[in-house]
Structures are given as structure tokens and as C-alpha cells.
């Protein structure tokens, strides 16, 4: 039986034509008009003044944290239930990540979670919009302003998600998107930094390009990275960005079908379809195995895998990562993160998922539960 990957991208003739045009015209590096065009279009789409295209979301986080000028010993509050890139960017800057817990209902970190972990050394917070939803941002942003804390917004999983009718990616002092193959808008690998401050944007561009000094080529007073995006990647992303509303509608259709199928099953907890301030964009469809379900995550993942259906576990909490503990992160108990990390996984959710394959996944999950609970 044909496998159903956890992610299948949806790319069309317009993307193919744009990439082939780059090849025909010889734009195979970061030179040419495409990257700048992509940056402008991305910034406009998310209500920002400046866009800086980079080679990955991880690269964007590295640059964003460094650009803020944090010092050794400074602390950055960051949700623990996220990819390690968020913490590694903080560590690489010389600062210290301080992980915070999250809400059991929507899996995001809200104001009270950040407040519980603040110290006199806190200088910034990192917002991470997880799995298609975001926290209630207004009180969080007001609290950060009152405290004089910089706000780094990781919107990698929030393409097309609005908070109170404003796009996620428009809220941080600096915001970062991933454009990896499983994202709503993808360049295969890639990322985008957004901000409104022209000096901050220029700093990001310098860090992206090895900190060359424009007036003195190959002379460096600071170390940066080669984190450039190629013209072909930008060309791949431009047509998708132009049809972002269409892509979001498809994501929501996939999410609603799963939600309708599983929301009433007591063996599972699923994320809400909406909160008072946002409608789920269902970047992926996550499921958490309920206590007393009669089976474990490992059980159902193995059964689906045997049928060729791909899954992924939820992130491991940052506060449990050996690499970060070796860097001196203090041991802490974050019980909600630990429970979600142990019991959560997500189903095939890519834009290329067909209705037929989704019905197959839904049927396989239901058949498994029925067999284990009859």
C-alpha cells in the first residue's frame, strides 16, 4: 500500500517556471533580483517594514538573538515545548535560555508561564507560536513593555495565523519564520527575519553576510555567518506567498476534517479549533493520548507506521535536553511540557495530502482505537 508521509508539499507549475527562469538566467547564488523581491513581498504580507531572507529558520533565530546585543549572563525566557533551535540561538549568543511551561489546552506558553520564570537577569522573551495556535499576546506584550524586555517572535509554525486580526510575525521587536519543506510557504530550506527598525534590519543583513564592511571588501571587524538564501529558493517561495490565503484555507480544511473525526474521542486530546483571539491554522494536527486511554503513543505510532502512515512525536522539552543541561541549564520541573512531550504526536498534515489519504489516516486511527478498547 502506498505510504502517507507525515508531510507532502504542494508545488505547482508556477513554482517550477520561476525556478527554471532562475536557471535560464544564471541566478543560482544569492545574487539577482529574486531575493530582494521575496523580502519585500514577505514584509508586506505580514505588515512589516523590512524582510531579511536567510538560509533557514535556525539561521534566522541565530541572527535575531545576536542582533539584539544580549550579553553573557543575560537570560531569555523561552517556551520549553519547542525545537532546540530556539535555545541554541540563545546559547550561541552567550546568553542563557530559561525554559517556561505551557498551557495544557492549547499547548502554548502564556503570560503566567513567563511571569513564573522571570529573574533580575531576564532581558528578553521568545514567543513561539506552536502547532498552528498562539498564546494570548496582548497581555504578554504589555508585560514585556512594562519590564523593558525585548521580544523575539518565532512564527515558524504560524504562516497565515492571525492574532486579533493582525498577522503573527508582526508582533516581536524581531520576528522569524522558517521556510522548511513542511511549512505553509516553503523554499525547501530557508527562513525570513522581519522587523520595523531599519538599523536592526541592516544589522541582520550584515550578520547574514559574514559582516562584510561595504566600503572595505574582505575586511571584518565582527564575525558573522554565510546564512544567505539563494535566488532559486526565493523564486520558489514567491508564488506560494502570493497565494497564501489559498494555502491557509487548505490547511484549515485538513485540520477541520481531523478535528471533527477525533475531538469527541475520550482517548485523545486535540487542540481547539479556535480561541477567543485566533483561529487555528493547523500547521500540523497534533494528538495527545489521554490518561487511561488503554494504549500508549508508542502503540498507536507503531500501528500506523506498519500501515505506511507517517507520524512525528511532539518536541522534547528544552529543559530535558542533554545538550542544554551540559551547557549549564538549571534542572527544573515543567509538568505540562513533560506530559505533552511524552504523549503527543502529529499526523500527516502537508498541503499535498489528498482527501483520500486523509480518510485513510482517519480510518486507521479509528480502527486502532476500536480494536484496543472493545
Rounded distance between C-alpha atoms, residue 251 and residue 261, angstroms? 16
151 has which bridge partners?
125
The three cell numbers locating residue 53: 531572507
- Closest C-alpha to 297, from 275, 313, 280, 318: 313
Q: How far apart, in Å, are the Cα atoms of 21 and each of 96, 121, 228, 232?
A: 45, 51, 20, 9
Rounded distance between C-alpha atoms, residue 322 and residue 223, angstroms? 28
Q: How many helices (H) and strands (E) does the chain have?
A: 13, 13
The answer to whether 46 and 167 have CB atoms below 8 angstroms apart is yes
Selected catalytic residue, list 183, 259, 297, 360: 183
The answer to whether 69 and 203 have CB atoms below 8 angstroms apart is no
Rounded distance between C-alpha atoms, residue 46 and residue 161, angstroms? 10
Over the range 313-351, which residues count as b (16 or more CB within 10 Å of their CB) and which as e? ebbbbbbbbeebeeeebeeeebebbbebbebbbbbbbbb
**CB atoms closer than 10 angstroms to residue 14:** 14
4 has which bridge partners?
309
Over the range 121-160, which residues count as b (16 or more CB within 10 Å of their CB) and which as e? ebbbbbbbbbbbbbbbbeebbeebeeeebbbbbbbbbbbb
Which bin fits 333, alpha (ψ -120 to 50), beta or left (φ > 0)? beta
**CB atoms closer than 10 angstroms to residue 43:** 22
Is 183 annotated in the active site?
A: yes
- Closest C-alpha to 35, from 16, 10, 56, 54: 54
For residue 188, the number of C-alpha atoms closer than 13 Å in the C-beta half-sphere is 11
* Residue numbers annotated as active site: 183
Amino acid at each position: 500500500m502506498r505510504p502517507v508521509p507525515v508531510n507532502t508539499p504542494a508545488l505547482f507549475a508556477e513554482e517550477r517556471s520561476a525556478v527554471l527562469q532562475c536557471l535560464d538566467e544564471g541566478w543560482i547564488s544569492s545574487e539577482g533580483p529574486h531575493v530582494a523581491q521575496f523580502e519585500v513581498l514577505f514584509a508586506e504580507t505580514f505588515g512589516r517594514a523590512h524582510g531579511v531572507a536567510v538560509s533557514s529558520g535556525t539561521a534566522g533565530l541565530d541572527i535575531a538573538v545576536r542582533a539584539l546585543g544580549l550579553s553573557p549572563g543575560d537570560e531569555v525566557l523561552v517556551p520549553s515545548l519547542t525545537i532546540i533551535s530556539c535555545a541554541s540561538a540563545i546559547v550561541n549568543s552567550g546568553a542563557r535560555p530559561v525554559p517556561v511551561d505551557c498551557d495544557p489546552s492549547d499547548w502554548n506558553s502564556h503570560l503566567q508561564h513567563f511571569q513564573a520564570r522571570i529573574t533580575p537577569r531576564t532581558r528578553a522573551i521568545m514567543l513561539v507560536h506552536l502547532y498552528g495556535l498562539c498564546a494570548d499576546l496582548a497581555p504578554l506584550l504589555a508585560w514585556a513593555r512594562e519590564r523593558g524586555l525585548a521580544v523575539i517572535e518565532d512564527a515558524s509554525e504560524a504562516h497565515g495565523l492571525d492574532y486579533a486580526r493582525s498577522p503573527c510575525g508582526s508582533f516581536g521587536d524581531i520576528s522569524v519564520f522558517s521556510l522548511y519543506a513542511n511549512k505553509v510557504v516553503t523554499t525547501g530550506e530557508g527562513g525570513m527575519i522581519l522587523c520595523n527598525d531599519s538599523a536592526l534590519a541592516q544589522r541582520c543583513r550584515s550578520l547574514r553576510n559574514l559582516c562584510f564592511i561595504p566600503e572595505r571588501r574582505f575586511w571584518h571587524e565582527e564575525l558573522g555567518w554565510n546564512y544567505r538564501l539563494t535566488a532559486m529558493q526565493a523564486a520558489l517561495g514567491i508564488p506560494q506567498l502570493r497565494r497564501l490565503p489559498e494555502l491557509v484555507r487548505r490547511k484549515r480544511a485538513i485540520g477541520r476534517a481531523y478535528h471533527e473525526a477525533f475531538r469527541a474521542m475520550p482517548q485523545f486530546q486535540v487542540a481547539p479549533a479556535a480561541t477567543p483571539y485566533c483561529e487555528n491554522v493547523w500547521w500540523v494536527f497534533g494528538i495527545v493520548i489521554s490518561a487511561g486511554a488503554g494504549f500508549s503513543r508508542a502503540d498507536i505510532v507503531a500501528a500506523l507506521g506498519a500501515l505506511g502512515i507517517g507520524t512525528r512525536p511532539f518536541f522534547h522539552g528544552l529543559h530535558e535536553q542533554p545538550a542544554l543541561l551540559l551547557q549549564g541549564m538549571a534542572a527544573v520541573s515543567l509538568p505540562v511540557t513533560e506530559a505533552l512531550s511524552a504523549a503527543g504526536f502529529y499526523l500527516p498534515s502537508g498541503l499535498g495530502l489528498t482527501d483520500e489519504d486523509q480518510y485513510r489516516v482517519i480510518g486507521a486511527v479509528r480502527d486502532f482505537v476500536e480494536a484496543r478498547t472493545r
